[in-house]
Chain A
Amino acid sequence: MRAVAGHALPADALGEDGISEQVAAFERWSRGFEPVAELDHPYIWSDELVYGPPDPRPGWQAQLDGLDLEARRRHGAGFVELPVGHRAELLREHLERAVPAGLRELPFAAEAPHVAIALLAWWAGTSGANDLCHGAAIGRHECRGLPSAAQRPEPLAPPSRADRGER
């Protein structure tokens, strides 16, 4: 998963440690997933209840296994051991096959057609990703109190080399 994440997530912006943290958080999120949970009633037109998807995790594991197997068959080494360029190419090929051409928006992570897209969709939905995009400490969905609402959000401090996992 960590090797996949290095290609799916913005590696430069997040840095080595950042990527590892996001993978750990995504794995925590997937462990907490409840299959076919009752979803929030949509506002209006909700005379029927709506349920979420079944457990995507077995499928995701199969996709990771498939990536690894194909890496071994093609290059004689597991996905993790491949040079970066080969890894990126193999992952992109898998994604081109798995992701329907009509899927243009990031899906709800649990409904993603591939585990790499699930990770990306999950990350992109975090408050931290929103902050990173806008370069500001917006703190979407955090309890921030009312007074600071009127201020322009503070710029994000650029990550230090250590934050980025560089030595």
Chain B
Amino acid sequence: MAGRVHETGVCILGSGITGALVAERLAEQTTARITVVEAGDRIFNLDQRFERRDRFLDYRENPWPDDHIRGQTGRGLQSRSMCVGGLGLHWGGTTPRFTPEDLRLRSLYGVGEDWPVEWEELDAFYQEAEERIGIAGVQGPPELDPRSRDYPMPALPLSYNLEKLRAWGERSGIPFWPNPVSKNSRPYRGRNVCVRCDTCTICPTGAKYSPDFTLQELLARERIELLDRTLVRRLVVGERGRIAGAKALDRDRPDEPLELRADVFVVALGYAWSAHLLLLSASDRAPAGVANRSGLVGRFMSGHRPYNAFVEVPEKLYPGIYEMDSLLSKSFQRPGDIDRYVRHDLRIWESDFGRRPRLRSDDGELLLGEDLLADWRQRGERGAARLRAYYDVIPAEGSGLRIDTSRTNEWGDPMFRIEMQPAPETSELIPLAEAQIEGVFDRMIAAGGGRLLERRVSREIHDHPAGGCRMGADPATSVVDPYGRSWDHENLWIVGAPTMPSAGCNNGTLTFAALTLRSAAKLAALLPPSGAEPAIPHRAEVAA
């Protein structure tokens, strides 16, 4: 069957947060024709979200029932969500910045790699990301939480529970402040204020940022074309190493081949699918896969490991005031001089751990009716908190994603397997990191009162995974240059999570977004300028 060809200027693969931000930045600053290609469905459903939220609460149903593609998955994948907006429809919206140490691990601590980025420059792109997304926050102590400007929105007010927990936590001498979030504390960019309904996995009012809002706005302004339900299967290398096109599949017309042609391709497929597509695209012209002359596509992937503790505190708390909100401390992300590399963040949430209604008493008696209520009330007299630290795990070279030919999608494409491995220089530090975190939990309990209920370290989890196409200054040891441009293909850019040399020790998405905007700024300078002022002025440019 004869195929179709779609031609455009910039072809952005992926419509998650990173894809949406590249599209927005380029749409403002250039006149380039922009197409966003997304394998999943278009779920523009603000009007249905209350109903879906109700079913999620009542029946635990997936509030985004059309958000995945049957058979399109890989071992070790973080989330099955594949749809317009990507994982950003589900996300919790926690958006701390990394700290300057994350960019200088080799020079400061002798582990991992230094990033080819200066903090001052990243600060400006963080600010831009915070303004585009809409972050509500307040700066912590400046020496722990450096930033050169205020957040675009004031922090959400701390709940009664969190105020109590802040006082409890700070008795240990560790400062805590409100965790920054992508939830509106005032109307922002046409979206509502958070109503504290506490189901951020589906925000029924649109107060939480999700990339579908950006894309809808760009569609309404006719600044982008969106090809949804279109799975990109291979990138094709043409003359002089340029990416000549991409082979895609329109899921509504699977028998009709679709070819995407563009001057520039931007891979914004997230940490897993980016490396997967590049490796699947191996051909005579790119035998090890596209952009993979270094052999490092899919390598050096990492995330941070969560260590949780549940603690009884000597306070009456009221579970359910605002469970999604939390407190943050960066005291251990900026540890100053240390002998061994141990860094982690620290958060506090209200919790109902050990305070939920239960079916049997301690001695195994069935609890019904008034007995159940009395037992529940008695355990609720003292509140509980969840403490969590994410500690940094520096990846080994072999840590990451490989093509798994034993498993294919509906159209016969092999899927992948992710296996994370810590670098040898950090694996011996893991017990120290865990011991330090236990010490911090103990210190908080000793100072604030209460008792430890349970500790849980999850060694299999690497949260906010990143890497797989790391950036660097040397083509032999990196996949992309410091701005995300492929060393091997001049018209190919890879943005966001995959480009990170290490995954830090707090939620990564704001950093993925900041790096993406930095790539977009560099790319925009190579495209025909629009001459228009960007809607969100870029701070570095404003300063200049």
Contacts and interface: CB of A to CB of B under 8 A. Distances in A.
Interface string B59-81: 11111010010000111111111
A133 B373 contact: yes
Interface string A93-112: 00110010101111110100
Interface string A123-167: 010010110111110111111111101111100000000000000
Contact of B369 (A7, A49, A130, A151): A7
Nearest to B63: A40
Contact of B196 (A45, A101, A145): A145
B490 interface: no
Contacts of B158: 149-150
A39 B60 contact: yes
A95 B357 contact: no
Contacts of A104: 358-360, 364
B340 interface: no
Interface in A3-48: 7-13, 29, 32-34, 37-41, 43-48
Interface string B305-346: 000000000000011111101000000000000000000000
A46 B461 CA distance: 12
Interface residues of A, number: 63
A59 interface: no
Contact of A120 (B58, B157, B372, B463): B372
A47 B77 contact: yes
A7 B368 contact: yes
A108 B318 contact: no
A134 B369 contact: no
A48 B71 CA distance: 9
Among B68, B159, B372, B377, find the residue whose CB has the most chain A CB atoms closer than 10 A: B372
Contact of A99 (B59, B205, B366): B366
Contacts of A110: 59
Given A110-B59, A138-B318, A141-B197, A41 B368 contact: no
B170 interface: no
Contacts of B372: 10, 120, 124
B163 interface: yes
Contact of B57 (A124, A141, A151): A141
B368 A8 contact: yes
Interface residues of B, number: 63
**SS of B interface (majority):** loop
A12 B372 CA distance: 12
Contact of B321 (A12, A46, A116, A138): A138
A100 to B, nearest CB: 10
Contacts of A103: 359-360
B503 interface: no
Given A106-B357, A149-B196, A10 B319 contact: no
A46 B80 contact: yes
Contacts of B81: 41
A143 B197 contact: yes
Contact of A52 (B60, B320, B380): B60
B74 A146 contact: no
A115 interface: no
B213 interface: no
Given A105-B358, A134-B319, A151 B160 contact: yes
A149 B156 CA distance: 9
22 contacts: A8-B369, A10-B373, A38-B61, A38-B62, A40-B61, A41-B68, A44-B78, A44-B463, A47-B73, A105-B356, A106-B356, A106-B359, A116-B368, A124-B356, A134-B319, A138-B319, A140-B321, A142-B197, A143-B196, A144-B195, A151-B160, A153-B318
Interface of A: 7-13, 29, 32-34, 37-41, 43-49, 52, 92, 95-96, 99, 101, 103-108, 110, 116-117, 120, 124, 127, 129-130, 132-136, 138-147, 149-153
Interface of B: 55-63, 65, 68, 73-81, 90, 156-160, 163, 185, 193-199, 201, 204-205, 318-323, 325, 356-360, 364, 366, 368-370, 372-373, 376-377, 380, 460-461, 463
Given A10-B373, A92-B366, A142-B197, 14 more contacts: A8-B368, A40-B62, A40-B201, A41-B62, A43-B79, A48-B80, A104-B358, A120-B359, A130-B319, A133-B357, A134-B377, A141-B57, A141-B320, A144-B195
